[in-house]
Structure 1
């Protein structure tokens, strides 16, 4: 049940700034009952729990505005190939996993990144490592897979497959697939990996939600399909299920959703229907992001995963049916095509109850950003991508770096900016996102002064992109996303005063308590209560100091 609660000795932040004179938040029956000075509150009743923030920041609950929740939950038990130094090293990890899990029906991994490898990924390496069952390895950006011969056979891929629309099989000199598959050609292998999964998704999802709580995340905008929606719907109706979800629909569900009359915004404060997700292009890492000019030093201009005329037609159909649209667009040509599509929809753009969005916007022409803002589109961006992709962005987009990851430009134009992680591509760690947004640096402090520092945003703007802005985009505002009288009591007690913390240390900030609808759903073990920078949080523990009633 929702409880009465007081958080005191806090630096209260909401609505884009610290609240002057407020050092206390009072919660009654799951809602904010007061925000102000501890000395001005009426005497507390017996049995009311008091959390002492010890001078640290208290913010509204955080929202990850772009992740793939079930995919991330599943990935936590998959073979982690981040940091592998070569294709041969990846194959060795696959062989070790196959020996360790002889009963597994498939070996599924994630995180390989071939840039700067001395060798190239090829099916022959995986055939030697694991010849008897499918191997499906997702690239770091989840827009490519590396598979073995058993996976190709199980997915029904022959010796000379045709490339599907918006997808590509990499090939040997004789035309046979070499095991690397990109963009829409990945879909049969994702389906194969899901079908051969041995573990139950329910416990995996619960473990993932617990990790989100430990990071201060109380709400998500989830981009997945039917299986995830069914699991989340079942979870939402259970008593005590504490995570707010805006569930986006896949492109494949558009016709069915229109036939049912399903509209964006349908649902309640725990689960509601969001936008239809379309893909305009690929990614920087795979050099499939659609570009106006060729990639520096590599040539090519990427891939249009949907022809512009098809994109525009489906955007209009969705909007006219009351469904907002969220379009993946990383390259500047993709952003242009997406803005063109929304602009051509005319008055239909205003029909859905929720705003439409452009996902990622990693590079954009200034004129297209201005149109994005004028049309009222939400820019959904992921600060950690900038930090992780920085070497690739400099290598392939260095000649136009001023237009990369344009967070400041989006805000200056008056557009709505929401931040997320794109998990499992990046960990769902808002503190890391705050650090990247404010510094434009990696955790090691490079590059000095930040990469394209004029696109940095303030800490207040970054916090707003994790709180108020995504709540507005989901139609939850003002009930969610603020610490104000009558709002749902979703809040995070941090271990530091975030505004006093040097920007280069923001990634080390950690929640010590996460509260959803008045319930403390997570406490940090051995919490320093706001006096130390802390490390990675450990789930289900004692938490901040409580005062006796």
Structure 2
């Protein structure tokens, strides 16, 4: 028998069937894969002089987590941009921008995170002018579906008072019909394009971001990037430790024709990088009141915006499916969710079943009760972000007050047989392994009470939460049983935690940290602050 490269022992292994007899507590890896699971004694033949071992000291060991919705390059770049607290007032945003501008010589100042709902006055040009003294400024809203830009930025983008609203977008205007500096949905495109690529700096930023993912126990990502960002990502991963992360890369709508013309289907790739579906936008967001609704918002925000009509969705999805390309459709409001399910159903079962990567709806934050069973029936996965249900609670309670029982419906969808895949939507929310699990289980922020929980019946237990971050997304990226599981033959992507997750009471789960993260059997993260207390990596003595 060949000996193992590494053995993790004295662990509480998640998802490993327990038969009669001693509970398996050790796992052996060789050549990047799991080769054996059993008790320490049962794995003794796998030990050799060169076998390394990790003593988990009765802490949990899980498969590497997947962030199933991540804008990796944008999140990496955000480390060098102005970060705005969503709770900041207009005056506080202006002061933060003033201080940031004083330290930067960038041609265009980029920031993110503002939320204007609680401001007495809306965002305007004058505020940016006062802070940035005529420089070009582009500030993304927290949900990244609106930007607040300076006059100079509008000028550089070729936009003036004569500009018309594009299809699926809007420029905000004051009561006199003058531009305010805010653009929403598709109207943001010429302003966002002002950010100049910095390839060398981006490579370093992405590699640093990958290290931060490893520190959260995340070994796989499902990303949504533009063409330039995809090139940066591929180059960055080529030079990252252990190859970085496993990637399912969804492609922009604008690239669908190129995929179809050369016959590239969803699922094309290898164990490290695969092509996902085409990313489509059916609507906007809750925060901007542009999510498409079946009934008007409860706070008078209308019924939102369809960024693609029902007919456009049907035609685009049918064409994609015919070419073997799946879809990942941004749909937040219940009308957008229904239109997407209608389009998938209209494409026909023969086209759906031949897809190597299942179709999915991104976010699905409001789902009408009649549409819940359609996810499982049509094989459409729900790609959801647990942290959104926490941070969106104040807005949802205002805008969706009459239908909160159908908002962020994790438990309802899971009970109805839908496949769930969880992620962060970074940079909208930061990627967090334990934080995501805690959001699923508690549906609140650490340090807050249960009284703050919106729709507590939608909470998941830890077992189901872990499935949503492991097996669920692995089933969507074409790896099948090779990913998201602890079993012989599966990829050696593991997280050794600093505690028994299932014994973590209250907020303790949110505080859990990976002691070690392994990608294909390679140690890509080790938390030195807890290694001495929780476990160690050593070489077996024969």
* TM bracket (short chain): over 0.9
How big is each residue's C-alpha offset from its partner over 1:445-502, in whole Å with a ceiling of 9 and x where there is no partner? 3343832121111111110111111111001122221111121100000011000011
The Cα offsets for residues 214-238 of structure 1, whole Å up to 9 and x where unpaired, read as: 0000000001111122223334555
Partner of 1:539: none
Question: 1:197 Cα deviation (Å)?
Answer: 5.3
Identify if the C-alpha distance between structure 1 residues 18 and 188 changes in structure 2 by more than 3 Å, giving closer, same or farther.
farther
Aligned to 2:302, which of 300, 303, 307? 300
Aligned to 1:150: 152
Q: Deviations over 1:295-349 (max 9, x none)?
A: 1122401110111111111011111111000100000011011111111111322
Provide the residue aligned with 1:311 in structure 2. 313
Question: Mapping of 1:54-69 within 5 angstroms?
Answer: 54-69=57-72
CA apart distance, 1:3 = 8.0
Offset of residue 15 of structure 1: 6.2
- Taking the aligned partners of 2:30 and 2:106, their CA distance within structure 1 comes to 49
Q: CA offset at residue 55 of structure 1?
A: 0.8
Which of 460, 465, 482 pairs up with 1:457?
460
Please name the residue that 1:373 is paired with: 376
TM-score normalised per structure 1: 0.94
Q: Structure 1 segments of 4 or more deviating over 6 A?
A: 15-20
Q: Which residue of 1 aligns with 2:537?
A: 546
Q: Is the 8 A contact 1:3 1:30 kept in 2?
A: no
What residue is the counterpart of 2:272 in the other structure?
270
1:225–1:501 distance in 2 versus 1, CA, 3 Å: same
- Structure 2 distance, partners of 1:113, 1:123, is 16
- Matched residue, 1:9: 10
Q: 1:32/1:130 Cα in 2 relative to 1: closer, same or farther (>3 Å)?
A: same
Q: In 1, are the aligned partners of 2:4 and 2:48 still within 8 Å (CA)?
A: no
Match of 1:24 among 23, 26, 39: 26
Number of residue equivalences? 534
CA shift, 1:17, in A, is: 9.3
Give the structure-2-normalised TM-score: 0.95
CA shift for structure 1 position 132: 3.6
Q: Aligned-pair distance for 1:366? A: 1.3
CA positional deviation for 1:86: 1.5
Structure 1 range deviating more: 219-228 or 173-182: 173-182
Conservation of the 8 A alpha-carbon contact between 1:160 and 1:176: no
Residues 2-401 of structure 1: pairs in structure 2 closer than 5 A: 4-14=5-15, 21-43=23-45, 44-101=47-104, 103-193=105-195, 195=196, 200-237=201-238, 240-346=242-348, 347-401=350-404
1:510-536: CA deviation from partner (whole Å, max 9, x where unpaired)? 1110000110000002215676xxxxx
- Looking at structure 2, the residues matched to 448 and 172 of structure 1 have their Cα atoms a distance apart, in angstroms, of 39
Q: Secondary structure at the match of 2:94?
A: helix
| 128 and 120 in structure 1: CA distance in 2 versus 1, 3 angstrom threshold | same
Q: CA deviation at 1:18?
A: 12
- CA shift, 1:261, in A, is 1.2
| 2-structure distance, mates of 1:180, 1:98 | 20
CA RMSD of aligned residues (A): 2.0
Deviations 1:170-213 (A, max 9, x none): 012232210111111111111112x2659721001001000000
Check 1:421–1:17 CA distance in 2 against 1; reply closer, same or farther (3 A cut): farther
Distance in structure 1 (CA, Å) of the matches to 2:19 and 2:155: 58
**Residues 1:529 and 1:479: Cα distance change in structure 2 (over 3 Å):** farther
Q: CA deviation at 1:262?
A: 1.3
State the distance in 1 between where 2:236 and 2:86 align: 35
Distance 1:180-1:3 versus aligned 2 partners, 3 A rule: farther
Q: Is the 8 A contact 2:204 2:236 kept in 1?
A: no
Give the distance between the partners of 2:11 and 2:51, measured in 1 at CA.
17
**Matched-pair contact (CA < 8 Å) for 2:108–2:194:** no
Does the 8 Å contact 2:207/2:244 carry over to 1? no
Which runs of 5 or more residues in structure 1 are unaligned?
532-543
Q: Aligned equivalents of 1:174 and 1:406: distance in 2?
A: 41
Is the Cα contact below 8 Å between 1:55 and 1:530 reproduced in 2?
no
